[in-house]
Amino acid sequence: MLLTIAIPTFNRASFLEKNLSYLLKQYKKNFKIIVQDNASYDNTKNVVNKYIDLGLPIEYERNSKNLGWAKNFEKCFKKCKTKYIMLIGDDDFLVDGGIELILLNLENSNPDLLFVKAFSTNKKVRSRLLSKSEDIINKEEFILKTILQFRLISSHVINSEFIKRVKSFEGNFAHLHPILISIRDGNNFIYINDEVVGCVANNSEFDLESNFSDVYVNEFFTLFRTYLGNELSTKCHLKLEEQMLKYYYPKLILKSRLGFIKNDKNIKNNFENTFKKNVFYQKNSHLFNKNTIMSNIFLSYNAIRSIIK
């Protein structure tokens, strides 16, 4: 057996029910399942028991206390006994045919890391997938194709060999340590263009509590450069930064200005420190840092482009 699907969860029994229902429809004794419960006090255990009774071979553990999401992720990773592991958010799900598509590519190509696209669950779920076997691509092409979904653990299927090389899962990006190590040390990467992972949009209170630029700008790029600073070409680094500046950060800045997430007063400092060598940012820094009509038009335009992209 090649694949373990691990689901870290906490107090989201209704979402977990949907997640497991999609796994049940696709189960052909061809993958393992772990549900790591971070001390839920809702009916999570009852939901898990229901699907065990329906035939899903779930390895279930409830922590005696809430260990924090990063430690719960770490427990999932370290329990894996198959060659590949896919951590899925409890509020995500794999569309019908998704597991078959993933397994086909794992069996045929033996990748170091595989990526599948995600979509918001307010979109209609497609009844069939179009892809079959994808081509192997190099690490720079892979990272440029996937960077805009760096926060989503559910899109990545990781060779468990690289998990053994993780020294720490600390920080706000516990899932990124094995992913970035896979990119650093691996050679074979697969990008599946089909939308395989359904996700609930805006289902986290994290952005209401934290300055987004502290986490998604400063912390992310510090971690990214620690692992990949010397592994990618200068051109790739600059192109990747420009993608984030054009297609990822505009929506977050607008949300911060409009009060949909925490009012982030550290944007200028974090952007200046992180992108001080980026020509695109230096030419357009006023559009990111000053709340003007022109700035908001620029950010709105790029936020719309990111949705289309």
The H or E element that residue 158 is part of is: strand 156-159
Domain boundary residue among 179, 199, 219? 199
Task: Give the model confidence (pLDDT) of 265-286 as tens digits.
Answer: 999 999 999 999 999 999 999 9
Please give the residue range of the domain that contains residue 159.
Answer: 3-199
CB 271 within 8 A of CB 289: yes
Task: For residues 52 and 179, state if they share a domain.
Answer: yes
The dihedrals phi and psi of 146, each to the nearest 5 degrees, come to: -110, -10
Number of folded domains in the chain? 2
Distance CA 224, CA 272 (A): 17
Task: Give the model confidence (pLDDT) of 111-167 as tens digits.
Answer: 999 999 998 876 555 555 666 767 788 999 999 999 999 989 999 999 999 999 999
Task: For residues 90 and 51, state if they share a domain.
Answer: yes
This prediction has a pTM of: 0.92
In this structure, what CATH number is given to the domain that contains residue 37? Answer: 3.90.550.10
In order along its 309 residues, the chain shows pLDDT tens digits of 899 999 999 999 999 999 999 999 999 999 999 999 999 999 999 999 999 999 999 999 999 999 999 999 999 999 999 999 999 999 999 999 999 999 999 999 999 999 999 988 765 555 556 667 677 889 999 999 999 999 899 999 999 999 999 999 989 999 999 999 999 999 999 999 888 999 887 666 666 788 999 999 999 999 999 999 999 999 999 999 999 999 999 999 999 999 999 999 999 999 999 999 999 999 999 999 999 999 999 999 998 887 765
Residues sharing a CB contact under 8 Å with residue 83, sequence separation 6 or more, in sequence order: 2, 3, 106, 159, 160, 161
Mean predicted lDDT score pLDDT of the chain = 92
pLDDT of residue 106: 95
Distance CA 225, CA 100 (A): 34
Burial zone of 122 (CB within 10 Å; 0-12 exposed, 13-18 middle, 19+ buried): exposed
Domain boundary residue among 199, 233, 264? 199
Task: For residues 94 and 114, state if they share a domain.
Answer: yes
Task: For residues 261 and 278, state if they share a domain.
Answer: yes
Domain boundary residue among 157, 178, 199? 199
3-state DSSP assignment of residue 167: coil
